[in-house]
Chain A
Amino acid sequence: METTFHIPTAAEMLAKGETPDLLFWVGCAGSFDERAQRITKDICKILNHVGIKYAILGTEESCTGDPAKRAGNEFLFQMQAMTNIQILEGYAIKKIVTACPHCFNTLKNEYPNLGGNFEVIHHTQLIQSLIDEGKLKPADGHSFTGKRITYHDPCYLGRANEVYEAPRKALEILDADLVELKRCKSNGLCCGAGGAQMFKEPEPGTKDVNIERIEDVLASKASIVAAACPFCMTMLRDGVKMKDKEQEIQVLDIAEITVAANKI
């Protein structure tokens, strides 16, 4: 999974007197979670492949504050937000792409009112526009042809921001056997991680939310479930593990599917 190319930081670019056209906001999961790091690298591969002048913030990036805000800690959220805004403005950032729907939602909807006005897109939207521009297309003989693939809508991409078509677009060009989950798009079921649930044990109940969700996936008889959020990724993978279906079902991010299909 090693990248053979250099991943530039905004600081390096500034030193050369340049500003990136697009800032890749990696997010905490994308930076520290081993599984999510693979998605992060694949997004860099796409950016590198199509020749976009991009950068990451590197060690200057800090949590957007989303988990603090959803847990009710408005102070901590706004501290994070204002610090991040200062850094982004310092590098004259205009446009941001992120692989995490929670970062996406927070940067796009909750930063402007604190002075942070950036154009924010999710990586599935970037992939969609690159497909539309003809810069990405599946290579001959890619491995997804005819595979039964389904897609899990992350709440903060779907319902929260009504991005339903972009991730589907990336799957539609694969010539695969696409199937929708019983609960999809605006009726999609949460993976169970949102609202800071990722960082605590669930309240007592009869079942874990990700198990309820993975049963939708099992019912779809898909062999690949596509995700577009690092937290959904964790929850879905745990669900597959709990159901002992690791041999039958793969959980892959839209970016990973795109890289593999394009043979980048």
Chain B
Amino acid sequence: MIGQVIFLFLLIAAVAFFTRNARRIYRNIKLGKDEKRNDQPGRRLKTMLLVAFGQNKMFKKPLPAILHLFVYVGFCIINIEMLEIIIDGLFGSHRIFSFMGPFYSFLIYAFELLAFAVLASCVIFLIRRNFLRIYRFGGRELTKWPRTDANLILITEVLLMGAFLLMNAADSKLQLLGHYPSAGAFPISQHIATILPENVDWLIGMERAAWWFHIIGVLAFLNYLPLSKHLHIILAFPNTYFTKLAPKGKFENMPAVTGEVKAMLDPSLPPPTTEVGRFGVKDIHDLTWKNLLDAYTCTECGRCSAACPANITGKLLSPRKIMMDTRDRLEEVGRNIDKNSTFQDDGKSLLDDYIKREEIWACTTCNACVEQCPVNINPLEIIMGLRQYAIMEESQAPASINAMFSNLENNGAPWKYSPSDRANWANS
């Protein structure tokens, strides 16, 4: 009985705490500017099913894709087992679903295989991350915390799956010894059971300990999500749903500029009356909510940076860092709001305090980062916004870019040629 009360308390606390953090993230994302991303629901749903649910972009790299698929399917399906664990925990029952007989055995059988696949995949991931030299697991933005974060997630999953299998192992042995009625099938844990002691009390202790470890671990993990890069397991779905559907090469035109340019070209038009805020992006308030959702969705896998022509040729730019910086700055602004109820100027901004000019000017706008992202994050939009701020608000560009602008203005070409010579090729 006391166990049930403790369980109920833990469950409520975990859900309440998670809800609080989830609401905070929702509030932070809403700090971004409005942008319409709810047209063409059919196409959006299809994108979400293909990219998030079906993980099709992961398969650009087959080996990690298959291992990740094990972890993903394992995670989803073992959550059915979680349902039984929660019911057992609340009502003090034992394997409440075992009334399903052979089907139950089939389920447990499948769960065990998946649990083992998850465990093995996570071990391989740990080895890849810590012992193999894989380009995308390096990079100067992967400082101590992001590395620890990644390892913590993998180790937690290994421990959770280990506890699940140990629980089943002790349980199956108790079933053999006649302590529990026979239920389930244990293709993996039967091998662990052979090395367990014969003592019933020991086995019960082990089974209970593993049960509690597993469920507390899962609840703790749930609450770790909002603090970590692992949030992608939830946000991948909305993030792919709200993907930009236009061709990747299409950069949105700024409507505020259109009004002004029209008035300049045709003086008979009334000058635009709408107050223009800020051109481009200096801080997170200038980004759209989708840019901010992107930042929270990023799981720092580094596929973007490994494909970035600037990054792989040693430039400072790393699209992954752009996303990590955006999230870090957003979290900082969020804490500021938590403390002061509205944002109080802290003298900092995303540009310069987090992202350096040298980074944004190294971008070739090639869209490789956008193409590679398995959850359709768009670092390029943020980079472009920062450039627009540097140019249109500050007139700060590399000197040769300014020269290109003045050529364009004066000659209608980015080079210093006379427009009257433009068609000379046709007569030569």
Binding site for B on A (CB under 8 A): 2-3, 7, 9, 26, 28, 30-32, 37, 40-41, 44, 56, 58-59, 61-63, 65, 67-80, 82-83, 105, 108-110, 113-114, 155-156, 159-162, 186-190, 192-209, 211-213
Enumerate 25 A-B pairs (CB-CB under 8 Å) in ascending A order.
A9-B423, A59-B422, A61-B423, A70-B384, A71-B401, A72-B391, A74-B279, A79-B264, A79-B409, A109-B249, A114-B253, A155-B365, A159-B249, A159-B366, A160-B367, A161-B248, A161-B249, A162-B247, A193-B364, A194-B366, A195-B363, A195-B364, A201-B398, A209-B313, A212-B313
Please, how many angstroms separate the alpha-carbon atoms of A193 and B307 in the complex? 16
> Given A62-B419, A67-B408, are A72 and B250 neighbors across the interface (CB < 8 Å)?
no
Asked if B391 contacts A194 (CB within 8 A), the reply is no
Given contacts A82-B262, A187-B307, 10 further A-B contacts (CB under 8 A): A30-B425, A32-B422, A68-B408, A71-B387, A72-B387, A105-B250, A110-B251, A159-B249, A189-B309, A190-B309
Centre residue among A44, A76, A211 by max chain B CB count within 10 A: A76
B 78-92 contacts with A by CB, 8 A: none
Asked if A76 contacts B405 (CB within 8 A), the reply is yes
Please, how many angstroms separate the alpha-carbon atoms of A72 and B316 in the complex? 19
Please, how many angstroms separate the alpha-carbon atoms of A235 and B397 in the complex? 23
Asked if A75 contacts B257 (CB within 8 A), the reply is yes
Residue B361 is within 8 A (CB to CB) of chain A in the complex: yes
Asked if A83 contacts B265 (CB within 8 A), the reply is yes
Asked if B265 contacts A82 (CB within 8 A), the reply is yes
Give, as a whole number of angstroms, the nearest-CB distance from A263 to chain B: 22
**A-facing mask of B238-249, CB < 8 A → 1, else 0?**
000000001111
Give, as a whole number of angstroms, the nearest-CB distance from A103 to chain B: 11
Q: Which of B28-36, B141-149, B291-299, B410-418 contacts A (4 or more CB under 8 A)?
A: B410-418
Asked if A67 contacts B247 (CB within 8 A), the reply is no
Asked if B257 contacts A74 (CB within 8 A), the reply is yes
Residue B156 is within 8 A (CB to CB) of chain A in the complex: no
Asked if B390 contacts A72 (CB within 8 A), the reply is yes
Residue B420 is within 8 A (CB to CB) of chain A in the complex: yes
Centre residue among B252, B372, B414 by max chain A CB count within 10 A: B414
Chain B residues near A113 (CB-CB < 8 A): 252-253
Specify which of A3, A80, A105, A200 is in contact with B401 (CB 8 Å cutoff): A200
Please, how many angstroms separate the alpha-carbon atoms of A211 and B309 in the complex? 11
Specify which of A41, A61, A65, A211 is in contact with B422 (CB 8 Å cutoff): A61
Residue B261 is within 8 A (CB to CB) of chain A in the complex: yes
Please, how many angstroms separate the alpha-carbon atoms of A197 and B364 in the complex? 6
Please, how many angstroms separate the alpha-carbon atoms of A56 and B424 in the complex? 12
Chain A residues near B279 (CB-CB < 8 A): 74
Specify which of A83, A187, A189 is in contact with B60 (CB 8 Å cutoff): A187
Chain B residues near A40 (CB-CB < 8 A): 425
Residue B381 is within 8 A (CB to CB) of chain A in the complex: no
Please, how many angstroms separate the alpha-carbon atoms of A108 and B249 in the complex? 10
Please, how many angstroms separate the alpha-carbon atoms of A199 and B309 in the complex? 17
Give, as a whole number of angstroms, the nearest-CB distance from A60 to chain B: 8
Chain A residues near B258 (CB-CB < 8 A): 78, 114
B 362-409 contacts with A by CB, 8 A: 362-368, 370-372, 384, 387-392, 397-398, 400-401, 403-405, 408-409
Asked if B366 contacts A190 (CB within 8 A), the reply is yes
Closest residue to B426 on the A side, CB-wise? Answer: A7
Please, how many angstroms separate the alpha-carbon atoms of A15 and B249 in the complex? 37
Asked if A203 contacts B358 (CB within 8 A), the reply is yes
Closest residue to B316 on the A side, CB-wise? Answer: A203
Give, as a whole number of angstroms, the nearest-CB distance from B359 to chain A: 8
Give, as a whole number of angstroms, the nearest-CB distance from A148 to chain B: 25
Give, as a whole number of angstroms, the nearest-CB distance from B353 to chain A: 19
Chain A residues near B401 (CB-CB < 8 A): 71, 196, 199-200
Asked if B367 contacts A205 (CB within 8 A), the reply is no
Residue B260 is within 8 A (CB to CB) of chain A in the complex: yes
Centre residue among A75, A109, A187, A188 by max chain B CB count within 10 A: A75
Asked if B397 contacts A209 (CB within 8 A), the reply is no
Please, how many angstroms separate the alpha-carbon atoms of A213 and B366 in the complex? 13
Asked if B253 contacts A74 (CB within 8 A), the reply is yes
Asked if A203 contacts B257 (CB within 8 A), the reply is no
Residue B317 is within 8 A (CB to CB) of chain A in the complex: yes
Asked if B248 contacts A205 (CB within 8 A), the reply is no
Centre residue among A59, A68, A71 by max chain B CB count within 10 A: A71
Please, how many angstroms separate the alpha-carbon atoms of A150 and B261 in the complex? 44
Asked if A203 contacts B362 (CB within 8 A), the reply is yes
Closest residue to B362 on the A side, CB-wise? Answer: A203
Chain B residues near A199 (CB-CB < 8 A): 400-401, 403-404, 414
Please, how many angstroms separate the alpha-carbon atoms of A7 and B428 in the complex? 11
Asked if A200 contacts B361 (CB within 8 A), the reply is yes
Closest residue to A6 on the B side, CB-wise? Answer: B426
Closest residue to A101 on the B side, CB-wise? Answer: B249
B 307-354 contacts with A by CB, 8 A: 307, 309-310, 312-317
Specify which of A105, A205, A211 is in contact with B315 (CB 8 Å cutoff): A205
Give, as a whole number of angstroms, the nearest-CB distance from B326 to chain A: 18
Specify which of B248, B389, B404 is in contact with A67 (CB 8 Å cutoff): B404
Chain A residues near B253 (CB-CB < 8 A): 74, 77-78, 110, 113-114
Closest residue to A111 on the B side, CB-wise? Answer: B253
Chain B residues near A28 (CB-CB < 8 A): 412-415
Asked if B405 contacts A71 (CB within 8 A), the reply is yes
Centre residue among B249, B313, B316, B405 by max chain A CB count within 10 A: B249
Asked if A205 contacts B426 (CB within 8 A), the reply is no
Chain B residues near A211 (CB-CB < 8 A): 313
Residue B254 is within 8 A (CB to CB) of chain A in the complex: yes
Specify which of B316, B358, B412 is in contact with A80 (CB 8 Å cutoff): B412
Give, as a whole number of angstroms, the nearest-CB distance from B7 to chain A: 49
Please, how many angstroms separate the alpha-carbon atoms of A74 and B248 in the complex? 18
